[in-house]
Amino acid sequence: MCQLLIISPKPTHPTVGGSRASFRRWVEAYRAAGIDFHIVFIRIDSGDEAAMARAWGADRCTFLPYRQPARPLLGRLWRRLLGTHRQPNHKPYHIDGWCGPELIQAIDTLARRLQPACVHLEYVYISRLLECFGPRVYKILNTHDIFAGRASLYLQHGVEPHWFFTTERQEAKGLNRADCIIAIQQQEAAYFQRLTKKPVFNIGTDVDCLSPRPPVTPAPVLAFIGSAYTPNEEALQSFCRDIWPRIRAELPDATLEIYGQVCEKADPTIPGIRLAGVVPDLAGAYNRAWLVICPLRFGTGLKRKCIEALGQGKALVTTAVGAEGLEDGRGQAFLCADDPAEFARLCLQVLRDPALRQQLEAAASAYVHAYNQKQQRRLQEVMARAGLLNPSAP
């Protein structure tokens, strides 16, 4: 038996991308609370399983193979018809469309063997797995994202939908399988609460909080950090096209340093760009940066790259989309603009005015300190509801 079974289609290692980092912080929080847990990683995504075993203990990890189920026959025929006419297929998935019988059987076997008191499941598109556990098992669903309407959001920005997307009705079906819903930011919490009567908690996992320090580079450096995620790729391309030339025209010695898998979609011939790629530790990137940018134009969830930059005590310029979930810090802890000319103006203002940059850096650290305390209180409440902690625990 174990106190807590954690099931995820994302690994904790390597920690590339916001969703993996968020999941890893949840596991770290459970471990810090002294909770006996077991992790099940479903290989929908690739991961470093040896590193996971070292981090959490080989006896606390199970790695399951995954095969995506075929769509129903009628759906396959419809796809073939659309393909014949060279039309894209935007038919939403059923909520259980990615949850095949082999996976359900594997989790059912684990449920009987481990007999957990609580289950923490990542992502609504595998919520069918919660039905492998009886009514006495408390079920936590960490949503990470909204999947209804995802196709329309991508199409509005000229991007073909991919990954998983569904309807509100199907998403509600998945939510209702849990006893407790976790939303990563307030707008999404309100959306989920509209779909279900189950309690919804807004918990954006905490991040490291450091004191501001001056950049180590003599000339201005802007940093963009991103995984191989379509909104990141589109944001980088639009920034390089519409904003970066305006900045370089005013500050020709400025450099845009790009970190993460998003580098694979960057044009290395653009003047003033340095592609750093995936690095084992981003401390050096933050130490070099005068300013961190997050020019996202679409996407859902909490933009971890923003809260992480603030936690590093860095000045940040982002968009309204990048600021979602952090709106109470807008204009004080960070600056925000959607218009390319205004975005460039704010970047130039920060780069040219050391006093403004230092003011933003101090406000960023203070904001994240308060933010972390808020997330910890909410996390403690969820753990207490699940019976993982004594309600009076600090």
The 10s digit of each residue's pLDDT in 324-353 is 989 999 999 999 999 999 999 999 999 999
pLDDT band at residue 69 using 50, 70 and 90 as cut-offs: confident
Q: How many residues does the chain have?
A: 394
Q: Give the per-residue pLDDT at 87.
A: 47
The pair of three-digit structure tokens given for residue 323, joined into one six-digit string: 């600021």
Query: Per-residue pLDDT averaged across 136-164, rounded?
Result: 86
pLDDT at res. 85:
47
Max CA separation in the chain (angstroms): 65
Does the structure show a pLDDT above 70 at 391? no
Q: What is the pLDDT of residue 79?
A: 52
Task: Give the pLDDT band (50/70/90) at residue 363.
Answer: very high
Does the pLDDT value for residue 73 go beyond 80?
no
Answer yes or no: is pLDDT of 86 > 50.
no
pLDDT computed for residue 89 by the predictor: 59
- Confidence band (pLDDT; 50, 70, 90) for 159? confident
Domains in the chain: ranges and CATH: 4-205 (3.40.50.11930), 221-371 (3.40.50.2000)
Could you tell me the pTM of the whole model? 0.85
What is the per-residue pLDDT for 393?
Answer: 47
pLDDT digits (tens, 9 = 90+) for 224-248: 999 888 889 999 999 999 999 999 9
Buried b (16+ CB within 10 A) or exposed e, 162-187: eebbbbeebbbbbbebbbbbbbbbbe
Residues 47, 13: contact at Cβ < 8 Å? yes
- Residue that wins the pLDDT comparison between 100 and 205: 100
The whole-number average pLDDT for the span 108-114 is 96
Q: What is the pLDDT of residue 83?
A: 55
Average pLDDT over residues 247-269: 94
CB 225 within 8 A of CB 296: no
Q: If pLDDT is split at 50, 70 and 90, which confidence band does 289 have?
A: very high
Mean pLDDT score of the chain, rounded to an integer? 91
What sign does the dihedral 162-168-169-170 (CA atoms) show? positive
Whole-angstrom Cα distance, residue 62 to residue 23? Answer: 16
Residue 324 CA: distances (Å) to CA of 224, 306, 384: 18, 10, 28
Classify 355 in phi/psi space as left (phi over 0), alpha (psi -120 to 50) or beta: alpha
